[in-house]
């Protein structure tokens, strides 16, 4: 995304589940566009320990739109910040409690 105004500082471990320190930790953040921020919050996508995008096949069916906006990114490594990388602890929390949570 080359338009900074469309990017959102997203929490990996949700705000409501985070301690005061975790809420402001740079390592609990990802810079995402609004669409992927919402998909991440809903557990449709996540990242693995190698910082590669994963799509939840149980929650996202294949379609032209889903393939273009979600599956097309599966397996791609995210761009990492130079200062504070996303914490594996927060990634594990997201993966366990959001990505793998039962589909609604």
Can you give 32-78 as a three-state secondary structure string? EEHHHHHHHHCCCEEECCCCEEEECCCCCCCCHHHHHHCHHHCCCEC
pTM over 0.75: yes
Q: pLDDT tens digits for the chain (104 residues)?
A: 678 888 999 999 999 999 999 999 999 999 999 999 999 999 999 999 999 999 999 999 999 999 999 999 999 999 998 888 999 999 999 999 999 987 55
């Amino acid at each position: 995304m080359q338009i900074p105004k469309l990017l959102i500082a997203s929490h990996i471990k949700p705000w409501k589940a985070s301690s005061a320190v975790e809420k402001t930790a740079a390592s609990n953040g990802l810079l995402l566009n609004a669409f992927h921020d919402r998909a991440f919050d809903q557990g449709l996508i996540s990242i693995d320990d190698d910082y590669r995008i994963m799509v939840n096949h149980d929650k996202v069916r294949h379609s032209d739109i889903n393939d273009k906006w979600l599956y097309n990114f599966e397996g791609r490594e995210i761009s990492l910040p130079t200062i504070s990388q996303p914490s594996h602890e927060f990634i594990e929390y997201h993966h366990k409690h959001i990505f793998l949570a039962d589909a609604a």
